[in-house]
Structure 1
Amino acid sequence: MMTNIQDIFRYILFISCLWVALPTAAQKKVKQKPVQLLKAAPIFGDNMVLQRGKKIPIWGKGVPGQPVSIQIGNRSWKSRADKQSGIWYIELDSLPVGSNYSLMITQPQQDALLFKNVAVGEVWLCSGQSNMEWPVRLSNNADAEAAAADFPLIRHVKVMRRASLVLEDSLAVGKWEAATPQTVPHFSAVAYFFARHLYDSLKVPIGLINSSWGGTQVESWTSRTSLATLPDIASELARVPAVGNALADSVIQRNPNRYPSILYNAMIYPLKRYALRGVIWYQGETNAVRAVQYARTFPLLIKDWRKQWGEELPFLFVQLANWKAAGGNSQNGGSEWAELREAQQAALQLPQTAMVVTIDIGDSEDIHPRNKQDVGKRLALQALHLVYKRNIASAHPVFAEKVMEDETLILYFKNTYGKLAVKNDRYGYVRGFELAGKDGIFYPAQARIVGNDRIIVSCAQVGRPEYVRYAWADDPADANVYNAIGLPLAPFRTDNLPEKTADKRFKVE
């Protein structure tokens, strides 16, 4: 009997404990941590650089309809996430130049986002194809350059390669990294050397957003809306596959030139709110086969990007270096690369643009010259003068006008900064010029520098010269005229004879 009573007591105690435990478990379930919805756009992170002297947009996603706050030191800004999408956007006031800022983003019932070691300085978007993507580790004196890389205020972030048939709100991006011996080897070499020269002069943080992809065409980097304004390209847009075509999506990741706009959609459009100082651009090799059309598509890209950012961003670009390519020149069926260089130079008609000439620092045997130091330095010179208003000599000498005198041409040049000079010839001969008569047949010409800004050109085979060309070849390695600050004369021609690429047009592959 006693045993039965004890068993009954134990059973009642067990049931009582069970009933007490059930509300506790339910209560624990209610108190579970909410799903973390608060996120910033992927471009924001530790070590990032924000643009000085401008409003600073910050954006992301969070709990729909809930307030969002950003705090830096004792300053704060507030907004509210969209009730449907949860997207939020906050525009910070201009911040003083500095480093080691902490930026905190908060939303009720969400873990705060904290970005550390944030700097405020100058931010440049660095884009193009392989010569912009080319890393420091494959450039001249790579080991020494890496060992000397102690620039905690130069920061670099790489946008990952991605193509898309539709406009993307987000992007794949690496981490912002300060320049150290360990990180610099994989920085864009052109961008890093550009930033290093800027930092030497400005002494402020420099941020580099590297959004580049080797072997890519200008049409892939331009929005569909802008391309549709060019009739010869608009007709091709109908051949772009419909959104959601899985096969097409897999193809474009392997071939970023398959369709227009696909790199703009995935690698530029998601950045369009990020506050920038300007753009540096190194691209054109892939477009050389349709160079004449590039004279329209390249300025279109510049205007397109400026429209997306809502301001006239300074746009600095690199003219193609010398490379043997197909061996094209005036005597060999024409030069696609010379025509592309001419198309690039035509973009200087747009305001707030500058070009650097590199026909003297290329590699005849390699489309990827290792001397990226001089490319970066020349870009920085242009930036310091055009953007930062430094009173310095920065421009390349360019052709101004010609005057006929007997059987010779007298050529005048701008941006000499003193006397024109000859390099790389032990006898001081001026090389790279050619003349043609009305028949349009060009012959190598003799040339000599007279005074500070004139070159006299003549040719025994051309009794009365009509046209002159300089460095008009894929690989004008013998061209050797420089201004007084050591910058090479830009290639040019005075004729309007038919171009080799005149009938070449963009086609959807």
Structure 2
Amino acid sequence: MRIAQVCAVVSTLLFTVVAFADVKPNQLFSDHAVLQGGMSVPVWGTADPGEKVVVSFAKQRKVTTADADGKWRVKLGKLTVGGPFVMTITGKNTVTINDVLVGEDWIGSGQSNMAFTVSAKVAAFAGMQDEDKEIAAANYPQLRIFMATTKKTYEPQSEISGEWKIATPENAPAFSAVAYLFGRDLNQALREPVGMVVVAFGASTAESWVSRPVAAGDPQIKTMLDHFDDLYSFYKTHPNATTDQAPSAPQTINARPGKPGPLRDPVQDQHQPTVLYNGMVHPIIPFAMRGVIWYQGESIVGGKAGVAIYPHVMEALVKDWRQEWGEGNFPFYCVQLPPLKNSSNNPMVREGQAHLLSLPDTGMAVTLDVGDPTNVHPKNKEPVGDRLSRIALANVYGKKIEFSGPVLAGMQIEGANIVLHFSHAAGLIGKGGPLQWFQVAGADGRYVSAMAIIRGEAVVVHSDEVVSPVSVRYAWDNYPDGANLINGAGLPAAPFRTDSQDALSAIAKDFTGK
């Protein structure tokens, strides 16, 4: 080997050793970060095995030693809102992290409608209504957003890529629109720093965000996980195989037939279980935060079987994340899918999303009035951010504001009429005119259009075609254009039906899940 080559190899090895020896925090702890106030805050990273690491922040000094794998973690005591502060992390080297604020942190996750950016110039499918106006007004120095680089992996990862960006007109175009609007509204209402960590991936299914231990221990999700493992093993041993040669997917769950052709690496398929949890969620646990906002559900690809299991998978996901974070039942607020002339956004999926409210400290932002007939990525994101922030402001921060549209609380039959009772019904009206999209059915289960009128905080539904009605449904369609039941705060009612006891019990709860 030539002398020059030897020197190059030695230089590379020395650089590798030095790089590994350097103390390095997780990327979440970098310039412009927002740390969670009012609770203990873990800080972690890597160093040389056995290396002493000192973390100094806001008059606190924590000391630890990197373990045999070169990993270290300290836990800061409860932090007081404020800043900017400087964090120093010292080992054999010193890392200085500037302009760190303490305030409220939330995580934004899900699929493309969470990844959807403020500007269409960043992502062609995205771009808010009046995006130029939104961008020009994005001057909120205490709002910072961490847009994580997307990553799918087979094994859980320790590192996340991305950087904190301050909300300015220069940075706003690349922000998640929903996360930005939610964070902006919190920042303005609370007058405190707000940080948003966005881990989202387009077209992802719920099971891709669940950890392996939970998936393996759940009989319904394990079916998908076993298929994924079989497919992964097959792909590694048959890299040139075609899709028709691969193991068949279970047809009773979220089966995705795929396109004929060369078999792709299943790890890079965001429909497979665990891959996004491994690549994007595991690396940010246990970052101290207040709660999660979630926008996902358009990628249920297993037909009726997929729709049927979706509520179960989402419940498993929420319990999984809460267990992993170890912060108890942190708030988890989802966005119910808006109308769309496509089977992906159908009333059964929306009903499945409402099932999440059976868990404590959950909430749901209804978007029945902000859909687009042909675009799965509706650009009217302002109401989405507003409705999510209302739930948080009312239920986490104690603001006396209405945060929910009318919620079905029960029904009674009065002769040929059905009377529906609602909570969150102050100022109940039909937006723009008479109530629409109500239907009734008799014992035969055949639904017909019905007239509906408001009586105080109740709705009376009637059809001359049904002499003895037994059930009602509202906005039960993929695209219920004109569904208009709202309350005095202008917040819409979610679709509902009363012919399923399970469905009624799920949606008859307050939208905080309490």
- TM-score (ref. length: structure 1): 0.85
Q: Residues 364, 336 of structure 1: CA spacing in aligned structure 2 closer, same or farther, 3 A cutoff? A: closer
1:440 paired with 2:445, answer yes
Aligned to 1:263: 276
Deviation at 1:336, TM superposition (A): 6.4
Aligned to 1:11: none
1:189 paired with 2:163, answer no
Q: Residues 399, 498 of structure 1: CA spacing in aligned structure 2 closer, same or farther, 3 A cutoff? A: closer
Deviation at 1:497, TM superposition (A): 9.9
Aligned to 1:208: 196
Q: Percentage identity across aligned positions?
A: 37
Aligned to 1:397: 406
Aligned to 1:143: 132
Q: Residues 450, 497 of structure 1: CA spacing in aligned structure 2 closer, same or farther, 3 A cutoff? A: closer
Larger Rg: 1
* Aligned partner letter, 2:280: M
1:493 paired with 2:493, answer no
Secondary structure (helix, strand or coil) at the match of 1:304 reads: helix
1:156 paired with 2:140, answer no
Secondary structure (helix, strand or coil) at the match of 1:302 reads: helix
Aligned to 1:10: none
Q: 2:72 aligns with which of 88, 93, 98?
A: 88
Deviations 1:335-386 (A, max 9, x none): 9610111111111111111111001111112111111111001100000111
Aligned to 1:103: 87
Aligned to 1:297: 313
1:61 paired with 2:46, answer yes
1:72 paired with 2:48, answer no
* Aligned partner letter, 1:150: N
Deviation at 1:265, TM superposition (A): 0.9
Take 1:497 and 1:69, find their aligned partners in 2: how far apart are those partners?
Answer: 57
Aligned to 2:18: 35
Count matched residues.
Answer: 451
Aligned to 2:258: none
Deviations 1:425-477 (A, max 9, x none): xxx211010111111111111111112x1111111222211111001111112
Secondary structure (helix, strand or coil) at the match of 2:228 reads: coil
Q: CA RMSD in A?
A: 2.2
Aligned to 2:392: 383
Aligned to 1:422: 430
Aligned to 1:355: 364
Take 1:163 and 1:50, find their aligned partners in 2: how far apart are those partners?
Answer: 26
Deviation at 1:254, TM superposition (A): 4.2
Aligned to 2:285: 272
Q: 1:113 aligns with which of 69, 74, 95?
A: 95
Q: 1:174 aligns with which of 149, 158, 162?
A: 162
- TM-score (ref. length: structure 2): 0.84
Take 2:502 and 2:396, find their aligned partners in 1: how far apart are those partners?
Answer: 37
Q: 1:483 aligns with which of 482, 487, 490?
A: 487
Deviation at 1:253, TM superposition (A): 5.7
Secondary structure (helix, strand or coil) at the match of 2:390 reads: helix
Q: Are the counterparts in 1 of residues 420 and 460 from structure 2 also a CA contact under 8 Å?
A: yes
Q: Are the counterparts in 1 of residues 143 and 194 from structure 2 also a CA contact under 8 Å?
A: yes
Q: Are the counterparts in 2 of residues 156 and 209 from structure 1 also a CA contact under 8 Å?
A: yes
Q: Are the counterparts in 1 of residues 267 and 275 from structure 2 also a CA contact under 8 Å?
A: no
Aligned to 2:244: none
Of 245-254 and 278-287, more deviation after overlay is shown by 245-254
Of 227-236 and 187-196, more deviation after overlay is shown by 227-236
